[in-house]
Structure 1
């Protein structure tokens, strides 16, 4: 399988980045990734202040997909995620929802063995690897990898994991897909800014879709559809993601505006991805069986 090494790191998602690799639609590619600190943390005695913050949140890429053009959709099937054998977390003064009460920075290195994260002597947690940063080149100016948006980016969506499929609107020729910021574990919200940050390898299949369009990222897994939106106001992110699902429900099933809204009010869920980045990210989740029942009727 074709591979992009983590030495091909980018810190912004834009049209001006030189492709690390060019492939045809339908190709399978492995992205090798750093952790979000670009592997700068080696022990728990290091000072957070000594990190080079210009190297935070690198993504590997970009991948140029032939025949991807503005207005198309890039389908990214997450085939597998393999993570390193240890991860890093940090508590940072001023960062995250509890940051105002963090008086001293702290680094925590967590061993991972047999898919179990050894959080402490008393607590082991099964890992559920996911992708924090995944996106195409942004529409206009490059967007830092740490910022989410219509192009994807730092959504910190724990549902983007092996077996899921992400759909991204294409804004530039070739799409220019980049991936990074893997998490062995992350909770909705990522309230301390870091999940269990790890390096690793992500295998994907990329396909150009020309028969429909998107304005925001869309995700599906075995059981659910998810519409995703990011905004500086969390309520607006929730609203946009809900409106996207509402529109999709009406378009695909033909039910009325009011009926679609009432159905979402009882059958779906608004969910938070992260509340710690420059833009905040929400997703709306609706079980696939709801669509299936309506399509069969």
Structure 2
């Protein structure tokens, strides 16, 4: 096993650990460890809510999930010799759940969860159709996930970190805050909001000196969206065997990671659409000096996916175009066309006995393929959702016999917006 440079005690809260990570982006958050190019190391990661979501049959914890506290990230880790303008090469050597022998009832120790978030607490990709909170618990048996809340489904997880990235420079951080603040100003009362501004009260800034805390907390960016530094990209194929090339914006690069997923469909469409878990990740780092200019990687990471994807040979695909549910034509709106493809898939699965919410959770948790299939035929973009048929315990294909009817079981727990 590689040397562990960041340990988490499952019996303690994130802020009570010996080494404290962070939940905001800022160049002044001090590194918790320094590593050398060529080093191989292991990092423990807490699930993004630090144990606030529990293994039960209620969705009240999803309804009241403390979004101001996320994401609980491990790091930052400085890389010796990394300078602005370099590329940081990160190899994901292994990633997995918290070992079950560790103490504490945290997600990752044999189980994880998927949540549909309420509109007034984050929402989701289809929040207009699904405004309330729902939850599904998934049990892990080796690499296989099953759920008492979504019967008839069993599949191999594509385990990956939802979030990894380097620290922004002061200039890049200021750019983020301005452009996202300008967007918020166009509709400041929107629910869910257009973007998330800095929020100091719940900031966790590692071992930053207390004298600097208030200033940095007021500037530090939230971790919710992906940005130029990588961040919360939620790319399901960034799994074991992946090599990532991150732009470096500060001395040492200051790499951080977290938000591990046991599985996820393209888009993580329910907002907490992955199977969330705590766990470990093994990494190796290298530096390409001056790589940002040499390879034109001035913004956003590039990566080479690993080769551990579950092998599916048959898919059922659904398409959608950029026309609203009310029949309004939109011009090449790929966001809308992907929504429509997802809704078509949900309607189809509901014919087999699943509730619409169970079907929505399936699209979030199962490793579906989402594709932007057509962008040239005005006015309609075409997006597609590919569902692997092998994840179902029954034949999900259309036939003259009609859809097989499953027992929906206890269904997914719901908590309504108050």
Q: What TM-score do you get using the length of structure 1 for normalisation? A: 0.72
Mark the CA change 1:212 to 1:271 in structure 2 (over 3 Å): closer, same or farther. Answer: farther
- Secondary structure (helix, strand or coil) at the match of 2:234 reads coil
- 2:165 touches 2:246 (CA, 8 Å); kept in 1? yes
Query: Hey, what does 1:207 align to over in structure 2?
Result: 286
- 1:119 touches 1:125 (CA, 8 Å); kept in 2? no
Q: How far 1:211 sits from its partner (Å)?
A: 5.0
Q: How far 1:100 sits from its partner (Å)?
A: 1.6
Query: Hey, what does 2:94 align to over in structure 1?
Result: 80
Matched residue count: 231
User: Which runs of no fewer than 5 residues in structure 1 stay unpaired?
Assistant: 224-233, 237-269, 273-297
Mark the CA change 1:206 to 1:235 in structure 2 (over 3 Å): closer, same or farther. Answer: farther
Q: How far 1:206 sits from its partner (Å)?
A: 1.1
Cα displacement string for residues 248-290 of structure 1 (whole angstroms, at most 9, x for unaligned residues): xxxxxxxxxxxxxxxxxxxxxx957xxxxxxxxxxxxxxxxxx
Q: How far 1:103 sits from its partner (Å)?
A: 4.3
Q: Which one of 62, 74, 83 corresponds to residue 69 of structure 1?
A: 83
Q: Which one of 271, 275, 289 corresponds to residue 196 of structure 1?
A: 275
Q: How far 1:50 sits from its partner (Å)?
A: 3.2
Cα displacement string for residues 34-74 of structure 1 (whole angstroms, at most 9, x for unaligned residues): 11222211133243343322222221110011111100110
Within 1, Cα distance between the matches of 2:291 and 2:67? 39
- 1:59 touches 1:145 (CA, 8 Å); kept in 2? no
Query: Hey, what does 2:4 align to over in structure 1?
Result: 2
Within 1, Cα distance between the matches of 2:30 and 2:306? 35
Q: Which one of 164, 175, 184 corresponds to residue 262 of structure 2?
A: 184
Within 2, Cα distance between the matches of 1:150 and 1:156? 14
Query: Hey, what does 2:74 align to over in structure 1?
Result: 60
Q: Which one of 92, 115, 124 corresponds to residue 117 of structure 2?
A: 92
Counterparts of 1:96-115 in structure 2 under 5 Å? 96-115=124-143
- Secondary structure (helix, strand or coil) at the match of 1:10 reads coil
Query: Hey, what does 2:237 align to over in structure 1?
Result: 159
Within 1, Cα distance between the matches of 2:61 and 2:112? 17
What CA RMSD, in Å, does the superposition of the two structures yield over aligned residues? Answer: 2.4
Say yes or no: does 1:138 pair with 2:168: yes
Q: Which one of 125, 140, 149 corresponds to residue 227 of structure 2?
A: 149
Q: What TM-score do you get using the length of structure 2 for normalisation? A: 0.52
Within 2, Cα distance between the matches of 1:217 and 1:16? 21
